[in-house]
Amino acid sequence: MAVGMFRDEAGRRRFARAYEAAMAELPPPTATRMLPTAFGQVRAYVWEGRRADAVPVVLHPGRGAGAPMWADNLPGLLGAGRTVVAWDAFGDAGMSQQSAALRSAADQAAWVDDALDALGMAVVHVVGHSFGAATAARHASAPCCLWSGSRRRWSLPSGASGRDEPLQVASV
């Protein structure tokens, strides 16, 4: 597998303009972070919640979407007082900077684990959509997460059933 990147600088600039316009539709994040992983730097946007007792939510986007895809979901999550983190996945559209190829499901799980560790949050609830749900499921079933003291939870909505069918959600 190749490392995700833009084909040329002109394409990167076009994408960056569209991405910035989409991000402008979201509430302004409290912080923008680059999370170090063994596969590069994950761009993450953090909206700090007002409730210290609410489990933070980490949003993992579907294929071709990036963090801006969560625009319709952010108001409800933020309104509940939760801290919310939305990031751009490796190997796909977004502002993350991948430096090593993802060659296996274990690699997919490893970068997610690295990024979650870099957030420094003791407990998180990961929500993945479509391809993001598949990646989060790989992480949830990886050896790093299958120990009794795991402080991570997952919700994995699948949008693959079609537009007119109910959204399927599995919580792990």
> What is the Cα–Cα distance from 66 to 154, expressed in whole angstroms?
19
pLDDT higher for 31 or 131?
Answer: 31
> At a CB cut-off of 8 Å and minimum separation 6, what does 70 contact?
26, 59, 61, 86
Q: Give the model's confidence band at 153: pLDDT under 50 very low, under 70 low, under 90 confident, else very high.
A: low
Q: What pLDDT score does 150 carry?
A: 54
Helix, strand, or coil (residue 170): coil
Q: Give the model's confidence band at 23: pLDDT under 50 very low, under 70 low, under 90 confident, else very high.
A: very high
Taking a C-beta distance cutoff of 8 angstroms, is the pair 77, 84 a contact? yes
> What is the Cα–Cα distance from 46 to 56, expressed in whole angstroms?
10
* β-bridge mates for residue 59, sequence order: 86, 127
Q: What pLDDT score does 162 carry?
A: 42
Mean pLDDT, residues 48-75: 90
Domain limits, the chain: 9-155
Among 51-60, 77-86, 129-138, which stretch is predicted with the lowest mean pLDDT? 129-138
pLDDT at 126 over 80: yes
* Token pair of 90 as six digits: 């490796």
| CATH of the domain spanning 9-155 | 3.40.50.1820
